[in-house]
Structure 1
C-alpha cells in the first residue's frame, strides 16, 4: 500500500470520533512491529521519527526515514510517516526531501511570543510545500534532558483561550496539549484532565494531540478520545516491551551472540504492544 498522509488519517479519525495512534520509530524493528501490529488490529497508524532518534543516527535522517517508508509501503495497513518533536530548522527543512508529509515543530520551550513566531514561520514553510504541521502549547514533561515536572502543577496545562489564539496566530494543522500526561513514563498511572480536554475541543478548531500516552491507562485513553483527543502518541511503551524482552533473552542465554535471537522476540513483543493500543482506540 502507498504511504497515506498524516493529515488524511487524522481527518478521517476526527470525523469518525476515534483516536489515531502514532508510534515512535528508533530501529527497523520498531517500524516492522508498528506495521505488523496495525495489520493485526486492522487499524491505521503513524510511524513517527523524532529529532532525538535522528540524533541517535548521527544526525542522518535519510536512512531511517527510507527504512520506515519502505516498511510502510510493504504493509497492508494504512500507514503515514511523521517527523516528530523537531526543534532544528535544518531538520525541518530536510523533511520534504526525506519523504515526510507531516512534521511536529516543537517550540514549546520558548516564551509564548517566540513560540508563536517560530511556529508560524515553520507552518508557512510547510504549507508552501504541502506539509501538515503539528505544534505544542503547554508543558508536557518528561522530555530528554529536562527536570521532572508535575503534569498538574499550576501553569503547566494548556489554557483553552490561549490555545485558540495560538492556533489562529500560527495556522497549525493540529495542536499537542498538556492535559496531565508526561513523556517517558514506564508505568501507566497518568490521570488526565478530561474536563480540560473537552474545553480545549470546544475552543480549538484543529485536532488535538496527546503526547506521553504510554503512561496513560486504557480507560483514560478511551475517555480522552471521547472528550476530543485525536492523535495519540506512544513511544516508551514500545521501548519497554523491546528492552524487557531483550533482557529476558540475554538472561536465558548469557553466552549467545546472535542478535536475531533477541531482536525477533523483541519485535514480536512490540507488535503485541502496538496491536493492544490500537484495539483500545478501535473499541
Structure 2
C-alpha cells in the first residue's frame, strides 16, 4: 500500500504557492506510506541546450563545490548549482548523454535522481512530514508536482527504492500496486539502452515509458501500450516537462481520485488528501476509469 498525490496548476498566479499547496497533500498520505516519501517538482527551467541534474550523495558532508568545479572543467560547460539538504542541483550547458557518462566515470558514488530541463526529484527514507521539512517543500515554486509515500512490501526500505523514479529527460513515475513481469521486461529494456539503478518494479515502468517515448510515441500512446505490455495491478501518475497524466490498470483495484477546477487539477489515492486545496468544495471530483489515460499538458514547449 502506497500513497500518490499530484497537483497541476492551470492558473499561473498559484505557481509561487505550489509547494505550500502540495505539502499537506503529501503529509495526508502518511498512513498509506510511512517509511519513505518523495516528490518531483517542475519549474525553474534551464535554457535551451542546457540540462538540470538532481544529484544525491550519501555523505551529508560531501563536497559539492569541488564536484561542480570538476564537472565544469571535465564537460567544458558553464555550470550553476545549489544545494538542498544532501542533494544538489547542477545546471549545465551540456547534453544528457555526455553528462551521464561523465558522472558515471568521475563520480560513481553520486546518484542522478533526475535529469531534464525542468524536473527536480527529492526523496528520502522517513515520514512524509520529515521529508517535506528537510527539503523546505512549502517554499518551493513551480507549475506542477507529483509525490509518493511508500510502504515497502517487496523490497528493503531505502532511498533508492523510494519514488519517484526517473529514467529519461523530464519524465518520472510514481506507482501504487505491483507488476508481475518486471524482471523479464527489465532485461528487454536494458538491451534497448535503458539503464536502471534499483530492482524496483516501478522503475521498470518508468523505463518502459522512456523507451516508448524514444520510439516516437506520444505520452498517451506510450501509456496505452503500457496497458498491453505491463502485467499486474497499478495506478500510475506520470510527470513530464509539460504536465502530468494518470492511468489505472484494467481492473483498477488501487484507489484514485481526481479533482479539477479552473485553477488546478489534483490527484490523490484518497479524497482526504485533497481537502486542503482552495476551492475543492466546488471542484469536479471523480474516480478515474480503468484502462483510461487522463492527461493535462501545456502546449508549445
Name the TM-score class by shorter chain.
Answer: 0.3 to 0.5
**What TM-score, normalized to structure 2?**
0.32
| Structure having the larger proportion of residues in strand | 2
**What TM-score, normalized to structure 1?**
0.33
